[in-house]
A and B are shown apart, each in its own frame.
Chain A
Amino acid sequence: MDTTPFNAWKLVSLSPLPVWALVLLGVGVALGVGLAAWGVRREPARARRWSLWGLRLGAGLAALFFLLEPGIRNLQVARMKNRLAVLVDRSASMNFPVEPGGVTRSAEAAAFLESAAPGLSALQDRYAVEVYGFDPELAPVTAESLTKEPARAGTSDLLSALRSAGAGAQGAKKLGGVLLLSDGADNVELANGAVGRARAALADLGVPVSTFVVGQEALKDLAVERVKVDDFAFVRNSLTVEVEVHGRGFSGQDVPVVLKQEGKVVASKSVRFESSDDVKPIGFTFTPDQTGRFVYTVSVPVYPDEAVGDNNTRSFVLKVIRDRVRVLLVVGKPSWDERFLRGLLRQDANVDMVSFYILRTMSDDPGVVSQERELSLIPFPMEEIFDTKLDTFDVVIFQNFGYSDSSLSIAQYERNLERYVHNGGAMVMIGGDSVLGEGRANMPTLYEALPLEGAGPANVDSFKARLTPEGMRHPVTAMASGGTSTEAAWAELPAIPGANLTRAKPGATVLMDHPFLTSDGKNAPLVAVWDYGRGRAMVLATDASWYWAFTAHKEGSPSRTYDRFWGNALRWLVRDPDLTTLNVTADPPSVEPGRPVGVVVASRTSDYQPAQDAQVRVELVSVDTQKPVAVQTGQTGPDGVVRLEFPPPAPGPYKLVATAKKGETDLGRGEDAVAVRAVGPELSDASVRPELMEQIAKYTGGKTYRLPMSGLPDDVPLLDPPVVEVGRAKDKPLWDRWYYLVALVGLLGAEWFLRRRFGYV
């Protein structure tokens, strides 16, 4: 039995009659009263008239009383509390200080919560106070947890948090108000302010949101806020990186902005901030000189009084690819070797060739009166091709080119060419009677970049070129899958008439050599390659390789060895990724702070089949220190692929260097780049946005306050709890008392008596 006392009552009708019957009876009573009043309307004595009217009206009311059977309903009621949500921003920007050298924004929010605790307690009778942190998922927080646990969320999404708080109204308690504690640094729906749909969404919340701005506006901070660049670029083609640098408190100051590729400065500019809160766009235009994937970093200096230093750099990964291989072919004199190489390169859709041939030297007499009118020759544009435009080429081929006379000597450009190779270019030197120890040409600086050097007079005896063991495996001379097929392909080719006598430099890889001609006691090299600096170089010590292209067909058996040889050579020279047996790919190439670094390694055997069960080892090498910071190992699956993951490393540029082995067989080495960002979008901007906080309050019917403040303000707009709930009820009839009946009879009797007395009956 419920013993809870009743705490409310109300007057009710206890009549069992239906409403329509009560209405009819009520009408009947009203008519009765009306007719009685009509009957005495001519009574001259006002007192009599009013007495009769009053008695009849009283009788009517008494009759209604019995009809309606009034009673007292005792009620047990409970007032339902509204909810009051206190939302505290837990995005990472809340770790910024409220002012230079000050406490964090989270700490200031915690201090406010502590000081507002009495005020919130005072609301406990009407509001259920709930304190949440949002990231943007709501989770209960306390002042203590705000201080102890740093804010981590990568985004600030105020609207989402407000929606989540409002969603609680679907239950029994209705949201009566929100107190929002944030720096206002929204970077999702309200990133552009409370406009358009975002504004409508705020109004739709239907609850006053009072905002408490955390942090001071007058911060001093530099931030590389936005970097806009394509995912990939074409090698030796210029591209532009668009950067936005945000400066607060740097009015009138010049700030240097630097773009680096893995530690090497690519470009730098200076920006001047016009106001105390200014965003300056900058464009960096540069030309990548190597294919591959590289980490680029845009940075501004960190000044001592800056609020945040982590947002002064921003890294991105750029994949540099080639559209077509741009080849510069420089020919000393027209020859059959040049003719067949040109024919091959011209028909290759992947090659964009620019060529210059010396068709006439100063000692040649064309026999014309006017060279300008009768010859098609153009001046040899040495400066343009060996200086201005040199870096636009992927591969430079010198074919028997070597002149000592001043009009054709390239002596002053030798250093350019050597640097071009050293800095990532590719060079091929094809032999002949003018180069590699022949002729009068001597290009000592350029020859530094080549793997072979002249060792004596050329030998004109016919010979069949011989593959070296390295040549059987090397991508340049490997003709098919397997050394036997490669050897057979080369063996089918005809003998060639003569070769330059050269010797290999230390570090050179000789792919083909002469079967009987020797230098320094070894077979004279014919084809050799090496890596020179960041570039690559190849020497073909003969001008008779056209025999492999043309004479090879004299027996009627078509051979494509010459085509493949040059195709392979170009691909190797420009570091075609498909020529590597180990393919390494960072997944993804840019990693948000605190996220793991993934890498996918695809391994192939020397015949380019998937290498199953290969042992893969990947080092995560810091580009800044050039030292590995972590190592992961794994085993490839049937498709030759394995995915590995590194724990979240410190921010910065990294290289992923992978090696693989299958049994004792080395499957090669590959690498890729990955940028671990110092700051996500959340931390790139340390600004406080009071205007957004004001807009939120304005459009929801709340008010805006600024921290610090002690205690909860008295005028925080809140919705009153509107809902009263009925618990238990008990009816107590009022009509079933004898004296009510006596009163009714008395009233009717008194009226009857007076009517008779006044002469109406």
Chain B
Amino acid sequence: MPVRPLSRRHLLFGSAALVPLLAGRASAFGEKSRFIPAVARHGGRWDARLSGLRRISWEVQRRTSVEVLPDARPFALSSPEIFEYPFLYLGADGGFPPFSTAEVENLRRYLTFGGFLLADANDGSDGDGFDASFRREIARVLPRSPLTPVPSTHVVFKSFFLLDSAPGRVLNKPQLEAASVGKRAAVMYSQNDLAGAWSRGELGDYEFDVTPGGEPQRELAVRLGINLCMYALCLDYKDDAVHLPLILNKRR
């Protein structure tokens, strides 16, 4: 798939142009109706990818009609305030201690009544570190909704970009996993450090190398991030019958 890498100059220029746009729109009308990522604060290293969240918000703003406020808002998982932010990011570089009962219950209610959780193994772990901690805690939060692999036919792979894989900074697992509430995937889990591929430093440099695919893989990770945001916002919209013929035709 052809990918156009973004240069630092383009990023700075684009960001500069975007600032007044974002600020102006944000204050115009009910900013909380916009897409604002919330970040789950927990006992581990939860804040390792804040720049990645800011970056993906920026990409959503640039590439889609969605209105965003780019700065991620951190909240304790037990905080009622997370109910004002239906998109919640939970990541960590390494394992984290068990959630408290209040956190488990609050997160369960959040997911049950419509919230969306993107879990991201910043350490690219598989069977240890974040992966072990997250699987342990999500089993407590949604004991009746186990994580299952997301098939390539899932709407998240066509909610905006047409994708057929789910890479991040690394490529531990080719696909996502999901825990569903009803027909809705309330939790999406990537073991590939998605936000690591999105993250940029203060000067606009990408913070981490992307392996094994390099910059094309980074672009795919960005597109997957946008698709995840779109899925959180539009649910199964792209599964509507009106879209199917065109999408099937494009996938040939």
Contacts and interface: CB of A to CB of B under 8 A. Distances in A.
Nearest to A553: B113
Contacts of A499: 30
B132 interface: no
A664 to B, nearest CB: 43
Contact of B83 (A346, A354, A553): A553
A333 B243 contact: no
A359 B63 CA distance: 9
Interface string A478-516: 000000000000000000111110000000000000000
A498 B230 contact: no
Interface in A346-395: 346-347, 354-361, 364-370, 372-378, 381
A335 B34 contact: yes
A334 B234 contact: yes
A337 B81 CA distance: 17
Given A343-B184, A357-B237, A553 B109 contact: yes
10 contacts: A335-B33, A336-B35, A337-B33, A375-B162, A376-B159, A377-B160, A498-B32, A542-B30, A544-B32, A546-B33
A612 interface: no
A433 B29 contact: yes
Contact of B29 (A340, A364, A438): A438
A332 B66 CA distance: 9
Contacts of B109: 553-554, 556
A543 interface: yes
B83 A551 contact: yes
Given A335-B33, A360-B65, 15 more contacts: A334-B65, A338-B234, A354-B242, A358-B65, A376-B162, A458-B30, A460-B29, A498-B29, A498-B33, A543-B29, A543-B33, A544-B30, A544-B33, A549-B114, A551-B83
Contact of B160 (A369, A372, A375, A554): A375
Contact of A339 (B28, B63, B232): B232
A446 B232 CA distance: 31
B33 A375 contact: no
A595 B113 CA distance: 58
A346 B114 CA distance: 13
A339 B184 CA distance: 12
Contacts of A346: 235-236
Interface string B175-199: 0000000101000000000000000
Given A433-B29, A543-B29, A340 B66 contact: no
B234 A357 contact: yes
B250 interface: yes
| Max chain A C-beta neighbours (<10 A), residue from B29, B67, B233 | B29
A355 B160 CA distance: 15
A500 B29 CA distance: 8
A210 B149 CA distance: 89
A554 B105 CA distance: 11
A667 B167 CA distance: 64
Contact of A373 (B81, B113, B235, B250): B250
B155 to A, nearest CB: 9
A375 B115 CA distance: 26
Contacts of B32: 497-498, 544
B153 to A, nearest CB: 13
B83 A550 contact: yes
| Max chain B C-beta neighbours (<10 A), residue from A333, A551, A556, A558 | A551
A: contact size bracket: 35 or more
A342 interface: yes
Interface in B52-93: 59, 62-67, 80-84, 86
A334 B233 contact: yes
B158 interface: yes
Contacts of A367: 4, 59, 62-63, 219
B240 A355 contact: yes
B135 to A, nearest CB: 26
B30 A372 contact: no
A404 to B, nearest CB: 14
B247 interface: yes
A335 B62 CA distance: 15
A369 B105 CA distance: 45
| Max chain B C-beta neighbours (<10 A), residue from A336, A361, A375, A499 | A336
A553 B110 CA distance: 8
B246 interface: yes
A555 interface: yes
Contacts of B243: 376, 378
A247 interface: no
Given A367-B4, A374-B161, A544-B30, A554 B66 contact: no
Interface string B221-252: 00000000010111111101011001100100
A546 to B, nearest CB: 7
B9 to A, nearest CB: 16
Contacts of B242: 354, 356, 378, 381
A336 B113 contact: no
A333 B28 contact: no
Given A376-B160, A460-B27, A335 B67 contact: yes
Q: Which 3 A-B pairs have the closest CB atoms?
A: A498-B30, A554-B83, A433-B29
